[in-house]
């Protein structure tokens, strides 16, 4: 089993019209043993920026602390919030700096830029990013998530449609992955800065 799959987990970020959704499962495990079902993988690091961290849990926590430290330093120095594309660039550089002793994490950055336009990017463990104009997926369920998102996603969805599509894609994919699941969390961010968090019930086996 890959070290990336040791603790399990899946994250998906999807763009709508002037809104963005990011969702993850709630399971924390060690291989096939489930330890907890309230594990947070999506973190709000700025007013309009989220980071999703599927991968090895110890590296998730270390990387999150480094992200928050660098964002706090930026806030103190610049006296403003770091925009989502700057967060993505910073995270890519941070991962590449540690390429010889890499973090076993495949992060997702999602949020709204200064113009209120959605933006999302997924990275591999050494900071190579992919920023499409529809959705990104990472984690142990990414193969089934890719197929579900390609089938369900459509452009210019409003926030209700975006929630429904993101939820259905994630729940269908979690049914096909024994290393992720046990509930899910979906966050919807709109152009006015309002963030809505909803919990989903999924299979508990």
Q: Would you place residue 151 in the very low, low, confident or very high pLDDT band (cuts 50, 70, 90)?
A: very high
Q: Would you place residue 180 in the very low, low, confident or very high pLDDT band (cuts 50, 70, 90)?
A: confident
pTM of the model: 0.90
d(CA 64, CA 72): 12
d(CA 22, CA 91): 17
Query: Pairing state of beta strands 49-52 and 135-139?
Result: unpaired
Structure tokens at 184: 């899910």
């Amino acid at each position: 089993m890959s070290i990336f799959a040791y603790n399990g987990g899946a994250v998906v970020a999807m763009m709508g019209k002037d809104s963005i959704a990011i969702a993850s499962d709630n399971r924390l495990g060690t291989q096939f043993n489930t330890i907890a079902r309230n594990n947070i993988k999506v973190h709000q690091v700025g007013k309009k920026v989220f980071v999703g961290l599927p991968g090895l849990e110890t590296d998730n926590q270390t990387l999150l602390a480094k992200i928050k430290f660098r964002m706090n330093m930026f806030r103190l120095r610049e006296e403003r919030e770091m925009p989502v594309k700057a967060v993505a660039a910073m995270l890519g550089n941070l991962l590449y700096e540690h390429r010889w002793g890499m973090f076993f994490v495949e992060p997702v950055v999602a949020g709204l830029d200064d113009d209120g336009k959605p933006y999302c990017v997924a990275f591999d463990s050494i900071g190579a990013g992919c920023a499409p104009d529809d959705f990104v997926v990472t984690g142990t369920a990414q193969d089934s998530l890719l197929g579900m998102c390609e089938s369900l996603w459509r452009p210019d969805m409003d926030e209700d449609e975006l929630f429904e599509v993101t939820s259905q894609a994630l729940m269908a994919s979690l049914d096909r992955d024994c290393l992720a699941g046990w509930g899910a969390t979906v966050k919807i961010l709109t152009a006015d800065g309002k963030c809505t968090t909803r919990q989903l019930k999924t299979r508990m086996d």
